[in-house]
Structure 1
């Protein structure tokens, strides 16, 4: 049996941009991606603490050290610049592995989206 578990989480980062005129996705600072073990094109869930919206999209690399969190395309309608979001990844694994697995939770500075 396989189960889906939380793989990693960027907790309480601020949206820095919302770009409606883009094909889609979320742009995340590459430093944050590395710290949370998120890879480019990985599926993520984005939970907006300000308005309760939840959406799924995929990740593209943002400029390293920039603090960028940009919702692109249709997802841009679900956020406003300054909203605080949680970005979550999941992984499928067998039950025994899931029982031992430890997810990576990252808590950057909410105002700058930089690692502390």
Structure 2
């Protein structure tokens, strides 16, 4: 059996911009993508803490170190600059691998900077 598990997340990212007329996606600071193990064009799920909106899109790489988190295209209707969001990736794992898996969690401050250079933690419900 395969299980779908959280692979990584950027926790409490602040939306910095929104571009309705863009083709669509979520621009993420390249440094944050690397820390969270998110590849360009990888599917991401986004949970808006302010509005409760939940949606899927794909990641595109933004300039490193600026903290950019930009909702593009239709995603721009799902939030606004200043909103807090959680960006999550998932992956399928074989049963034994899933039981040993530890997701990568990057906690962000109000400026979209990692609270620690890299934080990997076991998530508990």
Q: Which TM-score bucket, shorter chain as reference?
A: over 0.9
- Could you tell me which residue of structure 2 aligns to residue 35 of structure 1? 35
- Could you tell me which residue of structure 1 aligns to residue 113 of structure 2? 114
Show CA shifts across 1:41-70 (max 9, x none).
110000000000000000000000010000
Q: Which runs of 5+ in 2 are unaligned?
A: 116-125
* SS of match in other structure, 1:97: helix
Distance in 1 (alpha carbons) for counterparts of 2:34 and 2:73: 24
1:1-116 counterparts in 2 under 5 A? Answer: 1-109=1-109, 111-116=110-115
Q: How many residues align?
A: 115
Distance in 1 (alpha carbons) for counterparts of 2:56 and 2:44: 6
TM-score by length of 1: 0.97
- Would you identify which runs of 4 or more consecutive aligned residues in structure 1 move more than 6 Å? none
TM-score by length of 2: 0.90
RMSD: 0.6
Distance in 2 (alpha carbons) for counterparts of 1:115 and 1:99: 27
Q: Which runs of 5+ in 1 are unaligned?
A: none
- Could you tell me which residue of structure 1 aligns to residue 120 of structure 2? none
- RCO higher in 1 or 2 (8 Å CA, sep ≥ 6)? 1
